[in-house]
């Protein structure tokens, strides 16, 4: 797991905690901040997954082309 993915997961947890605390205390601003942080972190995680997948695909293509030489 990459450093970016770990950071994104931690940010999702922090956002989730803010969201729950905001909901429990009826603090709509805190709840909304938590939801936004959680959503942004999930987006970062997805981007990192795509990046890792594309790097794997490129490596696979390179290996295939090297075998054909």
pLDDT digits (tens, 9 = 90+) for 40-68: 999 999 999 898 888 878 888 888 888 77
Minimum mean pLDDT range among 2-6, 15-19, 30-34, 61-65: 61-65
User: Tell me, what's the pLDDT at 69?
Assistant: 62
Phi then psi dihedrals of residue 25, to 5 deg: -95, 5
Model confidence band, residue 18 (pLDDT cutoffs 50, 70, 90):
very high
Q: Is the dihedral of CA 16, 21, 23, 28 positive or negative?
A: negative
Mean pLDDT score of the chain:
91
């Amino acid at each position: 797991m990459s450093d970016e993915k770990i950071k994104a997961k931690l940010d999702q947890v922090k956002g989730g905690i803010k969201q729950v605390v905001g909901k429990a205390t009826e603090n709509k601003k805190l709840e909304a901040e938590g939801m936004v942080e959680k959503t942004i972190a999930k987006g970062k995680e997805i981007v990192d997954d795509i990046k890792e997948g594309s790097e794997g695909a490129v490596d696979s293509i390179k290996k295939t082309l090297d075998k054909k030489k």
